[in-house]
């Protein structure tokens, strides 16, 4: 339990550090390199478009990250403390989280990167957080590849060029051909790639469960769910104003869970 609580503190700090490093690299390396383009004098310069797109992706990722934490699932208070494993919960979809020490409705899982449980109230923000984090990381990787390609005069036309970049760069770094800042960017390329794929996988898996009307907790416990149309399951999580929430971080306005909470 101590290790889980420690991970609940370290994981959010790790995510915030990666976000800060990404922002610094974008601001002080990638954007200045684009301003050197002769076409930058135009109104819609590459640097301006790149900055606007990165700001949109990062703002949605961090915005939904904050909403996942603020919009915590309600503590039903049905099971408390050590007796939570023995006392029956009011619904098969509820679960007592030992890390958060509370019972949540439609419990899905505990996310250590947000330090919070994912349930009925913040499921929508968690899915969007995974989506925009994946897009921001993959976009940063593309911008980083363009920067490394320009600085080191490396061509990524060959499919295996990205796979062989790291071992080649390590040998060149120790020989002095690659600077420390360039080596750091190369390491970040692989980190962005890994985080982007992981978040994309989480997002797709979560969307599949939402379409089925299930949660991860129900799948692990083998709980059968009532068959419903996938559109109704999707609307229950994302609400009727899903397009507005897709563009701007916001609470579950218009969703079924928020209506039941208001009642």
Other beta carbons within 10 angstroms of residue 211's beta carbon come to 14
111: annotated active-site residue: yes
Q: Which residue, among 152, 143, 150, has the nearest Cα to 189 in the 3D structure?
A: 143
First to last CA, the chain: 36
- One of 79, 97, 111, 117 is an active-site residue; which one? 111
Other beta carbons within 10 angstroms of residue 108's beta carbon come to 25
Residue with tokens 């709980």: 223
CA gap 208, 215 in Å, rounded: 10
Q: Which two tokens mark 24? A: 């610094």
CA gap 11, 82 in Å, rounded: 26
Q: Would you call 97 helix, strand, or coil by DSSP? A: strand
CA gap 5, 10 in Å, rounded: 9
Residue 155 Cα distances to 2, 147, 185, 192, angstroms: 48, 11, 16, 20
Active site residues: 111
């Amino acid at each position: 339990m101590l290790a889980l609580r420690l991970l609940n503190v370290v994981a959010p700090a790790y995510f915030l550090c990666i976000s800060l490093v990404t922002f610094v690299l974008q601001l002080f390396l990638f954007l200045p390199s684009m301003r050197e383009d002769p076409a930058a004098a135009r109104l819609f310069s590459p640097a301006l478009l790149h900055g606007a797109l990165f700001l949109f992706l990062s703002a949605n990722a961090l915005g939904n990250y904050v909403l996942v934490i603020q919009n915590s699932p309600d503590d039903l208070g049905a099971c408390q403390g050590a007796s939570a494993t023995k006392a029956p919960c009011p619904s098969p979809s509820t679960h007592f989280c030992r890390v958060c020490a509370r019972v949540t409705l439609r419990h899905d899982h505990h996310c250590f990167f947000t330090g919070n449980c994912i349930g009925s109230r913040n499921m929508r923000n968690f899915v969007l957080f995974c989506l925009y984090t994946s897009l921001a990381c993959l976009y940063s990787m593309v911008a980083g590849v363009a920067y490394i390609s320009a600085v080191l005069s490396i061509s990524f036309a060959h499919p295996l060029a990205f796979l062989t970049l790291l071992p080649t760069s390590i040998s060149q770094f120790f020989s002095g051909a690659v600077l420390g800042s360039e080596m750091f960017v190369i390491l970040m390329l692989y980190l962005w790639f890994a985080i982007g794929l992981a978040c994309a996988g989480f997002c797709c898996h979560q969307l599949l469960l939402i379409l089925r009307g299930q949660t991860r907790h129900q799948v692990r416990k083998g709980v059968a769910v009532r068959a419903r149309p996938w559109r109704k399951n999707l609307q229950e999580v994302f609400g009727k104003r899903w397009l507005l929430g897709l563009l701007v971080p916001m609470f579950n306005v218009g969703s079924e869970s928020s209506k039941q909470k208001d009642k």
